[in-house]
Amino acid sequence: MKMTDEGVKLIMTFEGFRAEAYKDPVGVWTIGFGHTSAAGEPAVAGGLKVTREEAEIILKRDVENFATGVAAKVTAALDDAQFSALVSFAYNVGLANFAKSSVLAAVNKGDLAAVPRRLQMWTKAGGRVLPGLVKRRAAEAALFVSGPGSDETASAPVEPVPGKVLPKSTTALAAIISALAGLLGLSGLAQHFVVLTSLAIAGGAAWVLRERHRISKQEGV
């Protein structure tokens, strides 16, 4: 297993080049093509600057380190495209998170068809879904299924797990709806119809959310 040029380009594309140190969405000092102090030298702090050529040298060293780390955790046989997708993922989330992720668990169980979906569940930073991470995970999933031994039917993207839930108490919801109906001047029978219809809709929506939550727990994050 080895890192491909496509994998390196994917990392460079989504990390982007920054000549001066900046804080990423979760507050970590970063420079070059997504280099942080956790990846090794140079240590990153405010005011640090690098040229593009220096950043490419740092990136090459970082990718080699991450590739070594990923290879040490993977027990399944992978083609280069699959391996490269995992290295890009680990580069983004860190080797510690990669090691405990359901992505690696699926790989080592030989359930490679589940990997694209599980990759695309890692789209949050700071508790919110980031469009850039959605696109990156989709690109990594596409790379994973691009190799000769991959299941291309597993590449369909998935929706992020919803962060909001409906009110748990349908009794409270019924009271609210009934009060609104009263304010609108509806008769008792009309109010009853509005409440039942609204509860039916809410119940259906709640079932959908419960199913999504159940599936997300099964898939893991």
126 — alpha (psi -120 to 50), left (phi > 0) or beta?
left
Instruction: Reply yes or no on whether 219 is catalytic.
Output: no
Measured at the CA of 116, the angle between CA 114 and CA 120, to 5 degrees, comes to: 115
* Amino acid (one-letter) located at 156: A
Residue 9 carries which side chain, given as an amino acid letter? K
Q: Which residue, 141, 92, 135, 134, is CA-closest to 115?
A: 141
Which helix or strand (DSSP H or E) is residue 36 part of?
Answer: strand 35-36
Q: Is 40 within 8 Å of 61 (Cβ atoms)?
A: yes
Rounded to a whole number of angstroms, the CA Rg of the chain reads 23
% helix, strand, coil for the chain, step of 5: 60, 10, 30
Separation CA 109–CA 143 (nearest Å): 20
Annotated catalytic residues are: 15
